[in-house]
């Protein structure tokens, strides 16, 4: 049974192309140093000088998310952590068909490369509590994140079968967690959510959280999707409990949905990572293990 890896890029993006776009649209920035910095599922990033970066979609499906960042990210207000609010909005051209952004360069290392200290769990809980304010009626809604879990059921079942094909015990335990989460009702109104808080989207310096990046799934939805981050980030069960406590009142149904979203992220990262991304695979495996151990301990 084949696994689903990183989506293929639909356009070649290199330094020459980015330099040309800068010269055409933001000539005041075109003299700055430029070099590749990162490439993910949806976007590529080039560092621009010391303080800026250029962020460009690598496939058409990512353009809606980039427009969401451009329009909404600056409206969230202070969260107590750095956020890459777009500073310049690039537009499609004859050389590149999609919108793109110039954003601040945020320092730090992804949390899967430099682990976050256990004591930061409470701080993350407070940040999420502030983020999860009621969203306005015109807020975007992601079709993939913060939705009812049954919308992801077919995908999760397929990935469980692929990623855990050789581990019957873990697959059975994971399915039990998933089915319990599916049965939990959404008992709170939609809130602002990040939607994609896996470790690569949190930057850490010397063990401390410094920034949250990749806000393309920003929108109104079930905040349980963001609470899943505690299982992806923190090995220590006490740290996870501290994070949930700092967040505030969490209903039992919301906690079950959060565990379901953690299972979704865990199995998705593992399934894709087994093809071509060892970092994703390691995060996915660790997340599933923590979930199962947490469920067995009843915490």
pLDDT at 265: 97
Please report the pLDDT score of residue 299 as a whole number. Answer: 59
pTM over 0.85: yes
Q: Return per-residue pLDDT of the chain as tens, 299 residues.
A: 445 667 788 999 999 999 999 999 999 999 999 999 988 889 999 999 999 999 999 999 999 999 999 999 999 988 999 999 999 999 999 999 999 999 999 999 999 999 899 999 999 999 999 999 999 999 999 889 999 999 999 999 999 999 999 999 999 999 999 999 999 999 999 999 999 999 999 999 999 999 999 999 999 999 999 999 999 999 999 999 999 999 999 999 999 999 999 999 999 999 999 988 999 999 999 999 999 999 988 75
What is residue 2's predicted lDDT score, i.e. its pLDDT? 46
Kindly report the three-state secondary structure assignment for every residue of the chain: CCCCCCCCCCCCCCHHHHHHHHHHHCHHHCCCCEEEEEECCCEEEEEECCCEEEEEECCHHHHHHHHHHHHHHHHCCCCCCECCCCCEEECCCCCCCCCEEEEECCCCEECCCCCCCCCHHHHHHHHHHHHCCECCCCCCCCCCCCCCHHHHHHHHHHHHHHHCCCCHHHHHHHHHHHHHHHCCCCCCCCEEECCCCCHHHEEEECCEEEEECCCCCCEEECCHHHHCHHHHHCCCHHHHHHHHHHHCCCCHHHHHHHHHHHHHHHHHHHHHHHHHCHHHHHHHHHHHHHHHHHHHHCC
- pLDDT at res. 153: 95
Burial class (CB in 10 A: 0-12, 13-18, 19+), 4: middle
Domains located in the chain, CATH noted? 15-105 (3.30.200.20), 110-297 (3.90.1200.10)
pLDDT at 5: 66
């Amino acid at each position: 049974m084949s696994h689903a890896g990183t989506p293929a890029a639909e356009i070649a993006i290199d330094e020459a192309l980015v330099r040309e776009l800068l010269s055409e649209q933001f000539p005041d920035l075109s003299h700055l140093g430029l070099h590749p910095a990162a490439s993910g599922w949806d976007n590529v990033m080039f560092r621009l000088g010391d303080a800026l970066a250029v962020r460009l979609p690598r496939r058409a499906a990512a353009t809606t998310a980039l427009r969401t960042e451009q329009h909404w990210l600056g409206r969230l207000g202070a969260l107590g952590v750095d956020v890459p609010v777009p500073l310049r909005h690039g537009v499609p051209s004859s050389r590149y068909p999609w919108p793109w952004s110039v954003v601040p360069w945020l320092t730090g290392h992804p949390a899967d490369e430099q682990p976050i200290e256990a004591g930061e769990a409470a701080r993350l809980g407070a940040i999420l509590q502030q983020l999860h304010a009621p969203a306005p009626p015109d807020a975007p809604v992601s079709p993939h994140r913060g939705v009812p879990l049954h919308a992801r059921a077919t995908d999760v079942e397929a990935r469980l079968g692929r990623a855990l094909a050789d581990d019957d015990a873990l697959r059975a335990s994971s399915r039990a967690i998933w089915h319990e989460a599916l049965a939990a009702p959404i008992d709170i109104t939609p809130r602002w959510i990040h939607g994609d808080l896996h470790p690569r989207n949190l930057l850490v310096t010397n063990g401390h959280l410094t920034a949250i990046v990749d806000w393309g799934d920003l929108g109104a939805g079930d905040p349980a999707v963001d609470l899943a981050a505690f299982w992806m980030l923190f090995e220590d069960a006490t740290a996870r409990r501290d994070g949930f406590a700092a967040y505030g009142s969490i209903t039992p149904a919301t906690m079950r949905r959060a565990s379901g979203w953690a299972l979704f992220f865990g199995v998705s990262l593992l399934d894709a990572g087994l093809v071509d991304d060892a970092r994703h695979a390691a995060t996915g495996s660790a997340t599933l293990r923590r979930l199962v151990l947490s469920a067995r301990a009843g915490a």
